[in-house]
Amino acid sequence: MLALAERGSATELLLRGSGADVVAPSAVDAIAQVLRRRYGEYERGERAVRLATHERYSRRAQAQVLFEAVEAITGAAGRSPAPCAPAGSRR
């Protein structure tokens, strides 16, 4: 993945250490270098590792981040959810 983002931006912080190429949008020479390198890898049959294979980008990990953020906003951390009726039943 080639991401155009400034150092310290949310995008750069998210992708740091992931194997993605993060380059400043104004760094034209660096962008060209990444494209040449990645195309050379492609020609040799090398394929980049998918970001989805990293645990931190898994649905489970991202859901956990979301739930923790919702709990922090709502103050619901540690509370048990309200009981739900079984599917197909009426209360």
pLDDT in tens, 30-64: 999 999 999 999 999 999 888 878 888 888 988 99
Question: Is position 84 within any domain?
Answer: no
pLDDT: is 88 or 35 the higher one? 35
pLDDT of residue 49: 83
Question: Is position 70 within any domain?
Answer: yes
Predicted TM-score (pTM) of this structure: 0.63
> Distance of alpha carbon 87 from its chain centroid, rounded?
34
Query: Considering its fold, how many domains does the chain have in total?
Result: 1
Residue-range definition of the domain harbouring residue 42: 2-74
Question: Is position 14 within any domain?
Answer: yes
Question: Is position 44 within any domain?
Answer: yes
* Residues 1 and 50: beta-carbon distance below 8 Å: no
CA distance 2 to 37: 11
Answer yes or no: is pLDDT of 24 > 70: yes
**2 beta partners:** 21
Question: Is position 33 within any domain?
Answer: yes
Question: Is position 54 within any domain?
Answer: yes
Q: Helices marked H in 1-91 — which ranges?
A: 10-15, 28-43, 59-74
**Mean pLDDT, to the nearest integer, of 67-72?**
94
Question: Is position 90 within any domain?
Answer: no
pLDDT: is 46 or 83 the higher one? 46
